[in-house]
Amino acid sequence: MGDLLRIAIVGYGEIACRQHVPAIAKTSGVALVAVVDPVKTPPGLPHFRDLQELLRDGPEIDAVALCTPPQVRHAQAAAALASGKHVLLEKPPGTTLSELTPLIAAAQEAGRTLFATWHSRYAAAVGPARQLLAGRTINKVTIIWKEDVRVWHPGQAWIFEVGGFGVFDPGINALSILTEILPRAVFIRSAALDFPSNREAPIAAEIELSDAGGLPIHAEFDFRQTGSPSWDILCETEAGPVTLSKGGRQLRDGGRLVVDAPDEEYPALYRRFVALTSEGKSDVDLAPLRLVADSFMLGRRRLVEAFED
Amino acid sequence: MGDLLRIAIVGYGEIACRQHVPAIAKTSGVALVAVVDPVKTPPGLPHFRDLQELLRDGPEIDAVALCTPPQVRHAQAAAALASGKHVLLEKPPGTTLSELTPLIAAAQEAGRTLFATWHSRYAAAVGPARQLLAGRTINKVTIIWKEDVRVWHPGQAWIFEVGGFGVFDPGINALSILTEILPRAVFIRSAALDFPSNREAPIAAEIELSDAGGLPIHAEFDFRQTGSPSWDILCETEAGPVTLSKGGRQLRDGGRLVVDAPDEEYPALYRRFVALTSEGKSDVDLAPLRLVADSFMLGRRRLVEAFED
């Protein structure tokens, strides 16, 4: 058991219960040994109210998976690294880009892994999409990322608070896929952000992006979708449309279905974390967060109807 | 004359006339050979309406200094690098962080210099302030950066447009100094941005920053100042206050005046550009722009009184 990575989940909310717990159970080389949450008590595991209590009184751990809202994650990551723990950050890795700089330095100094995860990049069709597109000339990209916030983020009040990103919380998943499948770096050309009159974060956004070759990329994010979500990226290529849908789990090349796989993102993500810790490496790609920051900086703000949950 | 850097100024506005032209004249190894501006015609120099006209019909040049508003600078920089010219970018280096990535790659591929300038870092007291603070424990930093937009930005309508940065246009000067004089990386903890009801960019901002050691840093930017501008950074240290004022030209250590120098930022900046081009190196530090992007992303938006110029 010497090589077993003993991990604690911090923030036992929606994403922890639904994804992290089963993924850890499926992954060899890692074991869940404690949970930190101010309120929720999971069955059958040592439980602590906050990270300090865990670090002081808890079982020995090697790593923490931070599944808390982004607004509190930076202080927790800094404390965990200072205690010599590896750190897995749920997405987005922080509320700012600049807060990551000292964390990267701290991980390097401590010889520990800092892993800024982008779970959507581990969806089954993302790798195949990248390979397919590498051999094509792409003429246009359209991203439609729309979901019902009431269905997909129940009780997550933080999402509309300052630092909660609003519709960019799911939208950054699309951007994490986009920056993985395209051959060249992309940048924001313009953006329009719709802020509900009673909220601090946008409920919808329209963004125009491009790359050094002038590729037009149009993205629409919307939390006001009802019915089925749309998590689609359509790439129009010389050889016909390449469509990545279901959040990166399904790939079509023209009419041909290339990949159609179930959700297996988090187990792949934990295999990567185990590998990173054993190699003593970090993985912090800030490109998706940079695109969000740019959208806020360059974005035109539009006030829209109040949103009541 | 083989080593003379032949430069064209693109965007013959306020900053070009007041700073770039006299600085180039003072700097050995560089000569101003053309000016590009859609409207203004400077006396005694070849003049072109746009960059394409210069590159097609103009005299041979080695470099361009882009003094245009940030909203149009990216396309100009890309075109100049594609034509094999060195590029000097006025601050801010772009309207987004992400647009810099392809420019950095293009400069490297072309073996040309991309220089993202931060003129305030060349103010006479900035280097001495950094050295002084390196030996001190700093307990608190306060930045007051307030000026009358009507006095300091006459006719610059772009500054309140999308991508114009508003009060962050001068504020980024303070952030460029802050990131130069402090020993550790800083990050944004919270921000409040005041948007006039009739404008796209903030007229004032209050920002809280910190570093890995928990140093409290408070910044106030305001365009509604009347009378004298305040361009001051106060560092409270164990050994008393260290005050950098006049935009980085004056340094006091407690009551003692250490530096009090005239404005010589741009000649120093052009000496650096000449050195970079002769060494074939680029210099693109995005830390100040990253702090601005973070302020927009994390910032609470407050609507304030309309601003009429």
Residues B188, A297: C-beta atoms closer than 8 Å: no
User: Of B73, B161, B167, B187, which to mutate for an interface test with A (greatest number of A Cβ within 10 Å)?
Assistant: B187
Give the integer Cα–Cα distance in Å for A267 and B259.
59
In a domain, residue B23? The reply is yes
Closest approach of B146 to chain A, Cα-based (Å): 21
Q: Residue A191's closest chain B neighbor by CA?
A: B162
Q: Are residues A147 and A258 in the same domain?
A: yes
- Burial category of B31 from C-beta neighbours within 10 Å (exposed 0-12, middle 13-18, buried 19 and up): middle
Task: Give the pLDDT confidence of B66-94 residue by residue, as tens digits.
Answer: 999 999 999 999 999 999 999 999 999 99
| pLDDT exceeds cutoff 50 at A5 | yes
Q: Please tell me whether residue A193 adopts helix, strand or coil conformation.
A: strand
| pLDDT exceeds cutoff 70 at A2 | no
A70 touches chain B (CB under 8 A): no
In a domain, residue B298? The reply is yes
Check: CB of residue A116 under 8 Å from CB of residue A89: yes
CA distances from A288 to A67, A92, A120, A208 (A): 18, 9, 12, 15
| pLDDT exceeds cutoff 60 at A108 | yes
Residues B96, A187: C-beta atoms closer than 8 Å: yes
In a domain, residue B270? The reply is no
Check: CB of residue B80 under 8 Å from CB of residue B113: no
Q: Are residues B74 and B153 in the same domain?
A: no
Given the residues A91, A140, A146, A246, the one annotated as active site = A91
Check: CB of residue A153 under 8 Å from CB of residue A225: no
Q: Which residues have C-beta within 8 Å of that of residue A1, sequence separation ≥ 6? A: none
Give the integer Cα–Cα distance in Å for A191 and A178.
17
Residues A95, B297: C-beta atoms closer than 8 Å: yes
Token pair of B35 as six digits: 């000016």
A211 touches chain B (CB under 8 A): yes
Check: CB of residue B96 under 8 Å from CB of residue A297: yes
pLDDT of residue B23: 98
Check: CB of residue A89 under 8 Å from CB of residue A111: no
Q: Are residues A128 and A224 in the same domain?
A: yes
End-to-end CA distance of chain B: 47
Residues A211, B95: C-beta atoms closer than 8 Å: no
In a domain, residue B78? The reply is yes
B11 touches chain A (CB under 8 A): no
Q: Are residues A136 and A258 in the same domain?
A: yes
In a domain, residue B202? The reply is yes
| pLDDT exceeds cutoff 80 at A97 | yes
A183 touches chain B (CB under 8 A): no
Last residue of a domain, one of B64, B87, B116: B116
pLDDT of residue A23: 98
In a domain, residue B269? The reply is no
Segment among A237-241, B42-46, B242-246, B275-279 with least mean pLDDT: B42-46
Name which of B7, B41, B55 is nearest B266 in CA terms.
Answer: B7
Closest approach of B95 to chain A, Cα-based (Å): 7
A294 touches chain B (CB under 8 A): yes
In a domain, residue A275? The reply is no
Name which of B276, B250, B275, B281 is nearest B263 in CA terms.
Answer: B250
Q: What DSSP line would sit under B163-196, residue for residue?
A: TS-TTHHHHHHHHHHHHHHSSS-EEEEEEEEEEE
Residues A188, B96: C-beta atoms closer than 8 Å: yes
- Burial category of B161 from C-beta neighbours within 10 Å (exposed 0-12, middle 13-18, buried 19 and up): middle
B162 touches chain A (CB under 8 A): yes
Q: Are residues A75 and A172 in the same domain?
A: no
Rounded to 5 degrees, what angle do the CA atoms A305, A193, B153 make?
Answer: 115
Q: Which residue has the tokens 């921000």?
A: B191
In a domain, residue B128? The reply is yes
CA distances from A42 to A30, A69, A156, B116, B191 (A): 18, 18, 19, 51, 36
Q: How many CB pairs under 8 A join A and B?
A: 99
How many CA atoms lie within 13 Å of A277's alpha carbon, on the beta-carbon side?
22
Residues B188, A101: C-beta atoms closer than 8 Å: no
The mean pLDDT of B247-252, rounded to a whole number, is: 98
User: Which amino acids of B are annotated catalytic?
Assistant: 91
Contact residues, chain A, for B301 at CB < 8 Å:
195, 200, 301
Q: Which residues have C-beta within 8 Å of that of residue B38, sequence separation ≥ 6? A: B49, B50
Q: Which residues have C-beta within 8 Å of that of residue B165, sequence separation ≥ 6? A: B70, B92, B159, B171, B172, B201, B292
User: Of A186, A188, A286, A298, which to mutate for an interface test with B (greatest number of B Cβ within 10 Å)?
Assistant: A298
Give the integer Cα–Cα distance in Å for A216 and A190.
12
Whole-number percent of chain A with pLDDT over 70: 99
Give the integer Cα–Cα distance in Å for A220 and A222.
7
Residues A98, B185: C-beta atoms closer than 8 Å: yes
Q: What DSSP line would sit under A125-172, residue for residue?
A: THHHHHHHHHTS-EEEEEEEEE-BHHHHSTT-GGGGSTTS-TTHHHHH
Strand partners, A251: A244, A259
Check: CB of residue A23 under 8 Å from CB of residue A269: yes
Task: Give the pLDDT confidence of B180-220 residue by residue, as tens digits.
Answer: 999 999 999 999 999 999 999 999 999 999 999 999 999 99
Whichever domain contains A213, its CATH number is 3.30.360.10
Residues B102, A188: C-beta atoms closer than 8 Å: no
B291 touches chain A (CB under 8 A): yes
Residues B292, A297: C-beta atoms closer than 8 Å: yes
Task: Give the pLDDT confidence of A220-254 residue by residue, as tens digits.
Answer: 999 999 999 999 999 999 999 999 999 999 999 99
Last residue of a domain, one of A116, A132, A153: A116
Between residues A156 and A86, which one has the greater pLDDT?
A: A86
Please state whether the peptide bond connecting residue A92 to the residue before it is cis, i.e. omega within 30 degrees of 0. yes
| pLDDT exceeds cutoff 50 at B304 | yes
Q: Residue A161's closest chain B neighbor by CA?
A: B300
Task: Give the pLDDT confidence of B162-177 residue by residue, as tens digits.
Answer: 999 999 999 999 999 9
Instruction: Read off the pLDDT band of A309 (50, 70, 90).
Output: confident
End-to-end CA distance of chain A: 47
| pLDDT exceeds cutoff 60 at A218 | yes
Q: ipTM value of the model?
A: 0.96
| pLDDT exceeds cutoff 80 at A214 | yes
Nearest Cβ partner of A97 from B102, B190, B294?
B294
For A219-222, the CB contacts below 8 A with 24+ separation are: A219/A142, A219/A143, A219/A145, A219/A171, A219/A174, A219/A175, A219/A178, A220/A143, A220/A144, A220/A145, A220/A146, A221/A145, A221/A146, A221/A167, A221/A168, A221/A170, A221/A171, A221/A174, A222/A145, A222/A146, A222/A147, A222/A167
Q: Are residues A30 and A67 in the same domain?
A: yes
Tell me which residue range forms the domain holding A47: 5-116
Give the integer Cα–Cα distance in Å for B185 and B192.
21
Token pair of B258 as six digits: 């250490």
Q: How many domains does chain A have?
A: 2
Last residue of a domain, one of B87, B116, B145: B116
Q: Are residues A14 and A102 in the same domain?
A: yes
A186 touches chain B (CB under 8 A): yes
Residues B301, A99: C-beta atoms closer than 8 Å: no
Instruction: Read off the pLDDT band of B2 (50, 70, 90).
Output: low
How many residues does the structure list for chain A? 309
Q: Are residues A153 and A137 in the same domain?
A: yes
pLDDT of residue B1: 41
Q: Are residues B250 and B126 in the same domain?
A: yes
Query: What is the phi/psi pair of residue A209, to 5°?
Result: -125, 175
Counting DSSP H helices and E strands in chain A, the numbers are 10, 15
Whichever domain contains B44, its CATH number is 3.40.50.720
Check: CB of residue A64 under 8 Å from CB of residue A8: yes
Q: Are residues A134 and A233 in the same domain?
A: yes
pLDDT of residue A1: 41
Residues within 8 A of A (CB atoms), B 95-134 only? 95-99, 101-102, 105-106
Nearest Cβ partner of A186 from B78, B98, B293?
B98
- Burial category of B259 from C-beta neighbours within 10 Å (exposed 0-12, middle 13-18, buried 19 and up): buried
Q: Are residues A92 and A197 in the same domain?
A: no
pLDDT of residue B41: 85
SS3 content of chain B, % helix, strand, coil (to 5): 35, 30, 35
pTM above 0.80, yes or no: yes
Q: Are residues A174 and A203 in the same domain?
A: yes
Token pair of B61 as six digits: 């040049």
The mean pLDDT of A175-191, rounded to a whole number, is: 97
pLDDT of residue A25: 97
Token pair of A81 as six digits: 């690294």
